A and B are shown apart, each in its own frame.
Chain A
Amino acid sequence: MKKRDGVRKFVEELILAICTLLILVPIYYFVIGAFKPRKMILQKPLILNAEMFTMGNFPRAIKAIRYWPALKNTATITLVAIALLIVVSSLAGFAIARIKSRFFETYYSLLITCMVVPFVACVIPLVVLIKNLGLHGNVLGPILIQAGWNIPFATFLFTGFMKGIPGELEDAAYIDGCSTFGVYWRIFLPLLAPVIASCCIVSGTGIWNDYLVCNTTLSATKNPTLMVGIYQFFSEKVNEYGYAFAGALLTSAPMVVLFLCLQKYFIKGITAGSVKG
Chain B
Amino acid sequence: MKQNKSIHRSQRERQRFTTGLLFILPSALLVAVFVLIPCFNVVYLSFTDWNGVATSPKTFVGLKNYVKLASDVSDFGTMMIATLVFALGLTVLTIIISFAVALVLDKKGKGRLPRGFLRSSWFFPTLLSGTVVGVLWRIMYNYNNGMINKVIEQCGGEKINWLETVGLTNFAIIAAATWARLGICVVIFMAGLQGISADLYEAAAIDGATERQQRKFITIPLMAPSITINLLTTSIAAYKSYELPYLISQGRPGTTTLLLSQRITFYAFQTMEYGRSSALAVVLIAIITIISLLQLAVMRKKEDIT
Q: How far is the CA of A211 from the CA of B131 in the complex (A)?
A: 7
B187 contacts across to A, CB distance below 8 A? 267, 270-271
Are B288's CB and A45's CB within 8 A?
A: no
Contact with A124, one of B36, B45, B151, B247 (Cβ below 8 angstroms): B45
Interface string of B109-139 (1 = CB under 8 A from A): 0011100001011111101111110011111
Of residues 89 to 125 in A, which have CB atoms within 8 Å of B's CB atoms?
A: 89, 91-92, 94-96, 99-101, 103-104, 107, 111, 114, 116-125
Query: Is A16 interfacial (CB 8 A cutoff)?
Result: yes
- Name the distance in Å between B157's Cβ and chain A's nearest Cβ: 15
Contact with B104, one of A16, A88, A121, A147 (Cβ below 8 angstroms): A16
Q: Which of these binds chain A: B60-68, B88-96, B278-286? A: B278-286
Are B113's CB and A17's CB within 8 A?
A: yes
A15 contacts across to B, CB distance below 8 A? 104
Q: Which of these binds chain A: B26-34, B79-87, B197-205? A: B26-34
A12 contacts across to B, CB distance below 8 A? 104, 107
Chain A residue total in the interface (Cβ 8 A): 93
Q: How far is the CA of A24 from the CA of B33 in the complex (A)?
A: 42
Q: How far is the CA of A245 from the CA of B151 in the complex (A)?
A: 19
Contact with A117, one of B39, B226, B277 (Cβ below 8 angstroms): B39
B105 contacts across to A, CB distance below 8 A? 16
Query: Is B261 interfacial (CB 8 A cutoff)?
Result: yes
Q: Which of these binds chain A: B164-172, B212-220, B235-243? A: B235-243
Classify chain B's interface size.
35 or more
- Name the distance in Å between A216's Cβ and chain B's nearest Cβ: 8
Query: Is B264 interfacial (CB 8 A cutoff)?
Result: yes
Query: Is B229 interfacial (CB 8 A cutoff)?
Result: yes
Are A124's CB and B145's CB within 8 A?
A: no
Query: Is A161 interfacial (CB 8 A cutoff)?
Result: no
Of residues 122 to 167 in A, which have CB atoms within 8 Å of B's CB atoms?
A: 122-126, 128-129, 131, 144-145, 147-149, 151-152, 155
A248 contacts across to B, CB distance below 8 A? 128, 132, 135-136
Q: Knowing A23-B182, A252-B129 touch, does A277 contact B147 (C-beta < 8 A)?
A: no
Q: Knowing A124-B278, A148-B33 touch, does A16 contact B113 (C-beta < 8 A)?
A: yes
Q: Using CB atoms, name the residue of chain A closest to B140.
A: A26
Are B20's CB and A180's CB within 8 A?
A: yes
B145 contacts across to A, CB distance below 8 A? 41-42, 239, 241
Query: Is B192 interfacial (CB 8 A cutoff)?
Result: yes
Contact with B41, one of A29, A125, A256 (Cβ below 8 angstroms): A125
Q: How far is the CA of A277 from the CA of B225 in the complex (A)?
A: 7
Q: How far is the CA of A277 from the CA of B16 in the complex (A)?
A: 29
Are A148's CB and B101's CB within 8 A?
A: no
Q: How far is the CA of A219 from the CA of B282 in the complex (A)?
A: 27
Q: How far is the CA of A123 from the CA of B132 in the complex (A)?
A: 22
Query: Is A68 interfacial (CB 8 A cutoff)?
Result: no
A13 contacts across to B, CB distance below 8 A? 104, 111-113
Contact with B24, one of A23, A92, A121, A149 (Cβ below 8 angstroms): A92
Q: Which of these binds chain B: A52-60, A191-199, A226-234? A: A226-234
Are B151's CB and A45's CB within 8 A?
A: yes
Q: How far is the CA of A10 from the CA of B112 in the complex (A)?
A: 8
B27 contacts across to A, CB distance below 8 A? 88-89, 91-92, 111, 151, 155
A179 contacts across to B, CB distance below 8 A? 19
A239 contacts across to B, CB distance below 8 A? 145
Q: Knowing A13-B111, A95-B23, A120-B265 touch, does A144 contact B30 (C-beta < 8 A)?
A: yes
B26 contacts across to A, CB distance below 8 A? 87-88, 91-92
B268 contacts across to A, CB distance below 8 A? 123-124
Contact with B118, one of A16, A95, A205, A252 (Cβ below 8 angstroms): A16
Q: Knowing A16-B113, A119-B240, A252-B128 touch, does A26 contact B136 (C-beta < 8 A)?
A: yes
Query: Is B57 interfacial (CB 8 A cutoff)?
Result: no
Are A181's CB and B264's CB within 8 A?
A: no
Nearest first, the 3 closest Cβ-Cβ pairs linking A and B are: A148-B34, A209-B129, A125-B41
- Chain A interface (Cβ within 8 Å of chain B)? 9-10, 12-13, 15-17, 19-20, 23-24, 26-27, 29-30, 41-42, 45-46, 87-89, 91-92, 94-96, 99-101, 103-104, 107, 111, 114, 116-126, 128-129, 131, 144-145, 147-149, 151-152, 155, 179-181, 184, 205, 208-212, 216, 227, 230-231, 234-235, 238-239, 241, 244-245, 248, 251-252, 255-256, 259, 263, 266-267, 270-271, 273-275, 277
